[in-house]
Amino acid sequence: MPSADRARWGGYGAAVCAAAYGSMKLAQALGANALADKDPLPPHLRERLLARDPFFVAGHWVLAGAAVVGVIVALATVRPWGAVVPRRLLLVIAWTLGTFMVVRSIGGVGFGFVGDALVLTGVRRPPAEHADLARTLAWWDLLLWSPFFLVWGLCWAAAGWRLGRLPGR
């Protein structure tokens, strides 16, 4: 089996991750906690999130909708019906999302393995009044969110890699 065919797991994995993320955001939009209290946000934004501020509720609906689109796009990279979507568009989407998610997981956008490690080792000290919360959220991010975004990003990258290696489509 060609290596590009073995890499089909990337598209399916990206679809599964998008479905899981979208399900969580839909649950939050409908009023469930669904890990909202574990979201690594600054304290003032976290309070708004947990108070169900209309901006955050709307954001959950938007993210749930985006996740549905993500499932469809991810599947379009591996399913025959995806051939109707321009290949270049799928490549740009897969590589862009893959890159963003891997960078997020590492810590290039504020959170991630590096940022969490800096907080947990005391190199980056949060404000004293939020130190315990910051450490708790850093642990959640280190053990749940960063690995999730890393896996999701690698799935998107594998989907893009596979799509780029396929003969003309």
pLDDT computed for residue 2 by the predictor: 60
Q: At 40, is the pLDDT very low, low, confident or very high (cuts 50, 70, 90)?
A: confident
Among 143, 140, 138, 152, residue whose Cα is nearest residue 99: 152
pLDDT computed for residue 45 by the predictor: 87
To the question of pTM greater than 0.75 for the whole model, the response is yes
Whole-angstrom distance, CA of residue 84 vs CA of residue 66: 20
The 10s digit of each residue's pLDDT in 88-103 is: 999 999 999 999 999 9
The 10s digit of each residue's pLDDT in 58-70 is: 999 999 999 999 9
Residue 109: pLDDT over 80: no
Out of 14-18, 64-68, 85-89, 109-113, pick the least confident.
109-113
